[in-house]
A and B are shown apart, each in its own frame.
Chain A
């Protein structure tokens, strides 16, 4: 911490980026090379100063994730059969059941992981991508939003695992049986697609100030 932490005091002065210095930095290992170098000599990664094309991948995966999120909420996630009666529950239905059982804390975990996180991820990724496309230079808080989205996305898988565990565990023939519903597949896909979308985003784009002469 010491020594380098003090550098924050100098934050007011503008930061020199590798691109402004005529260099390209490796996104994997950080080593720098003259701009135009194709491959990193240290780790072999393909070098791109700014991956503008990444935005297309970001949008494509984001839309795919949003589309499969719809059936994930409409169709049942779980089919529970107890003593001859079958009950189907969707994602939100499962949360309501948990509240009825009095497990407010667990209901909250499932609701945050399956509804709040996916929906805010859609909004956050789209917001950051639109900002970059409009040429608006971002601040540290935009970057932290990106980091948070990248970190939190995988936790949405909780509900898929819950369904897998319940279906494996509760197989007591007539007394009680739990089976997965089709929504489990669409939900897993939605989480995976948005994770790929966030991973495709080149965070260096967030910081960039558009070249001079172009209207901001």
Chain B
């Protein structure tokens, strides 16, 4: 007799109105297995997990935990039933301590008194499993870094001893070192005999951490198998439903004149020292760990972060650092934080797309709404943005389509230089390729592209030259042929030039 799997979801259907989110989806995870759940945005991964965690109820289908039927009506029941979720968006309460966060909603108590000491052993042992000494039960979460906060979320799953743990895009806000650490923790969870579901866009991560994979497309399971016997190309073609000819399309382009020259730039927000020259018709990449000052460099050039010293010259003229001036001088920036900064998510696609173009105009000048609309429709078509129309709130678009709105805005501004901060964060593989093609087209059209990314592979795929940021100091540029993933990592971690 074989053991029933720890988690088994069978024939799950779910529709929202006319939209079918899931159709006969299934997922089996054995004890001691890490199962990667992959698929493009909107493929149904989140819906499946929301059903598992009791946020949504399925139209039909069953969930079994260790062979027993399980139908959580709400998140509380799912947690009691042994399902723990670690979310993409951080769900920790900053003003509480680590321990208070771990026990939130399930405080040990007697006669209404809060008695954390009863759970102290479990709290300590879960924190030990994380292996980070700075995270103590009494540490206020507000003092922790983003990465450490994410670990606190994981610890919350451990405290309740959940046999099934779901990681939803856990690395999207982590740097390389923290990702390593997270993988160690996940490895320990597997060895501990738990069932881990790992959702990610990053295939290289999935290949490192998962044992088996399941690909969802349009609400259906289109394939599953062992990671060890599957190639990246196979995974990608399952996800997008067609062969991916080339991940990084490269259109030939010619490096032109210097457009932006940054000398000895130091910001008040953490960039210590940077020199760079960005030419027309080139893609210059900035590698480095999260928090190394990469974003601050772009934000300093653009005028969003205040400058301590140094200068920025645009086309040979010194440049006043202010977003309005930057746009006038032909510089555009795509923020790494699409939801909080990049887009006004409650406003329409049309408003978001055209917002930059009116910035320098007099207050009482009229907006040509009709013309604007036809321009927006043109961009929707040009970028194949999947939308009901220009009036749709950006909030309701998928991540990939939101990013297209951001890029379309830069095109609409008709800038000469684009500063891209993590342009492919949180978007699916298909959209990523489109972003890469767009970058290549920009450089072929003689525009200058400066791109920051956490993915070394991506930078090596799209850039002409790369510079590495380490602890706020930007290294010397090198042609992309002279870099590989290893040397980039060495520079990012150690700062010294690799041999």
User: Are these two chains actual partners, yes or no?
Assistant: no
Binding site for B on A (CB under 8 A): none
